[in-house]
A and B are shown apart, each in its own frame.
Chain A
C-alpha cells in the first residue's frame, strides 16, 4: 500500500515559523516596519507542498507592490522554500486598522505619525506637541500626508488613515 501521495515533507516549516520570517521582511519604502506590521500579508498556508501567501496592496497604484512581492519571494527562498505562490487579494480592502501596535510605535520612533481614526496625527512624532497643522493631503508616497509641527517647526509625514 502506497502512502507517498500527500505526505508533507518532514522539513516543511510551520505556518507560525513562516509568519516570523515574513515579519523580518522590511517594507521597501518605510524599512523600520515589516510587511506583517503593515498588515498586508493576509494569509499563509500550505497547499500540498506549495506555500501560498496572500498579499493585499495598500493603494491600488502603489509602485512598491511589485518590489514587495519580490522581497517576499526572495526571503522565503533564502529560508530554503522553493514552491511559493503569491496571491493578490484585494477584498476585503486594506485598512490601516490592520497595522500592528509594534508597527505604529516604530513608525512614530522613525518620525512618521501613525494613522488615527480622527483623520490627522495625534501629535508631532519629533517633540510630541499636539499643536500640528496640515501642509498637504498628500505626501512623499501614496500612503502619507504632509504635516508640520507648530512648536518645533519640523515638517513630518503622517500615515493616512484608510
Chain B
C-alpha cells in the first residue's frame, strides 16, 4: 500500500477487514449446517452463521458505499478473488472437528466483542450504528462459545484432548488480530477505530479467565501467522472456500433473482 493512503482508501480497507472477517467465518460456520453432532448445536451454528452474514451485509454495504462506483455488498462478496480479501487467517482455517470450530469461534468472539465495544463510540456514526447492532448478537455468541469451551475443556479426557489440540493449533493465528499497520494508524487518527494492539490486554484477560476455567493451557509461543488482514498472503484454504461460496456467480456470471 502506498504511503499516500487517503482517508477513504484507509476506511475502505478497514471496512473490508470487518466485513471479510464476518463473511468468511459466517461461511465456515455455515458448513456445519446439517452436520453438527446434535440438532441443538446444528441450529446454534446456523444461527451464528446467519448473524455473521447479516453483519457482513452491513459492513460490506458500507464498504461499497465508500468505494463508490455503484458497487454493492454482493459485488464485494462474490466478485473478488483471494488476494482482495482482508480477513484474518484465523477465520479461514478449515473447521476440522466440532471442538476446533468452537475454539475458533470463542477466540474470534472474544476479539470481536472487544473491538465492537470500541467501535460503538466511533467518530463515524455509520460505523457506530453497525457496531451497536452487531455487539448485541456477538455478546450472545461469546456467551455460548465460552460456555462450550469450558464445558468441553473441563469435560471428559477425550473432549479435553480435542480442545487442547484445537487451542494449540489455533493459538498461532491469534496474534494477527492485534497487529497494526498504516490503515489502522489512519483509523486511529480519524477517531474511527482503535489501534488493534491496544485491545490485546482486554483480550488476554478475558481469554485467560475462560481457558483457565476450561482447564486448558495457553501455548507459550508468541509466533503469529500473518498476512490475511493486509492481503499479503492468505492460506491455501481461502481459495478452496471461495470456489464453494462464489460457485454460482462463477458458473452463471451476473445471475440474479
Does A160 sit within 8 A of B, measured CB to CB? yes
Known: A138-B40, A138-B47, A142-B50. A92 touches B132 (CB 8 A): yes
Q: Chain B residues with Cβ under 8 A from A139's Cβ?
A: 43
Q: How far is the CA of A57 from the CA of B128 in the complex (A)?
A: 16
Total count of chain A residues near the partner, CB < 8 A: 21
Task: Indicate if the CB atoms of B50 and A61 lie closer than 8 Å.
Answer: yes
Q: Is A60 touching B58 in the complex (CB atoms < 8 A)?
A: yes
Q: Does B199 contact A (CB under 8 A)?
A: no
Does A12 touch B at the CB level, under 8 Å?
Answer: no
Looking at A61, A136, A139, A162, which has the most chain B CB atoms within 10 Å of its CB?
A: A61
CB distance A60 to B44 under 8 Å? no
Task: Determine whether A104 belongs to the interface, using a CB cutoff of 8 Å to chain B.
Answer: no
- CB B55 to nearest CB in A, in angstroms, measures 5
Once A60-B134, A90-B130, A91-B133 are accepted as A-B contacts, the answer to whether A162 and B140 lie under 8 Å apart by CB is yes
Interface of B is mostly: helix
Rounded to whole angstroms, the CA-CA distance of A63 and B44 in the bound complex is 16
CB of B228 to closest CB in A, whole Å: 23
Question: Is A140 in the interface zone, CB < 8 Å from B?
Answer: yes
User: Is A93 an interface position by the 8 A CB rule?
Assistant: yes
Task: Pick the 5 closest A-B CB pairs, nearest first.
Answer: A61-B54, A60-B54, A91-B129, A136-B40, A61-B50
Q: Which residue of B lies closest to A135 (CB)?
A: B40
Binding site for B on A (CB under 8 A): 57, 59-63, 90-94, 135-140, 142, 146, 160, 162
B52-94 to A contact mask, C-beta < 8 Å, 1/0? 1111011000000000000000000000000000000000000
In the bound complex, what is the Cα–Cα distance between A146 and B41 (angstroms)? 11
User: Quick one: closest B residue to A89, CB to CB?
Assistant: B129
Which residues does chain A contribute within 8 Å of B125, judged by CB atoms?
A: 91
Least distance between B237 CB and chain A CB atoms (Å): 23
Total contacting residues, chain B, CB less than 8 A: 26
Considering the chains assembled together, what is the distance between the CA atoms of A146 and B58 in angstroms?
28
Which one of B44, B50, B128, B132 contacts A59 once the chains associate, using CB atoms below 8 Å?
A: B50
Contact A59 B144 (CB under 8 A): no
Residues of B within 8 A of A61 (CB): 50-55, 57
Q: A60-B134, A137-B140, A162-B136 are in contact. Are A90 and B58 (CB under 8 A)?
A: yes
Q: Chain A's nearest CB lies how many Å from the CB of B56?
A: 8
Q: 7 extra interchain contacts, Cβ-Cβ under 8 A, other than A61-B52, A93-B132, A136-B40? A: A57-B54, A59-B54, A60-B55, A90-B133, A137-B143, A142-B51, A162-B136
> 29 A-B Cβ contacts within 8 A?
A57-B133, A59-B54, A60-B51, A60-B54, A60-B57, A60-B58, A60-B133, A60-B137, A61-B50, A61-B51, A62-B54, A90-B130, A91-B125, A91-B128, A91-B129, A92-B132, A93-B129, A93-B133, A136-B40, A136-B41, A136-B43, A137-B144, A138-B40, A138-B43, A139-B43, A142-B50, A142-B51, A146-B43, A162-B136
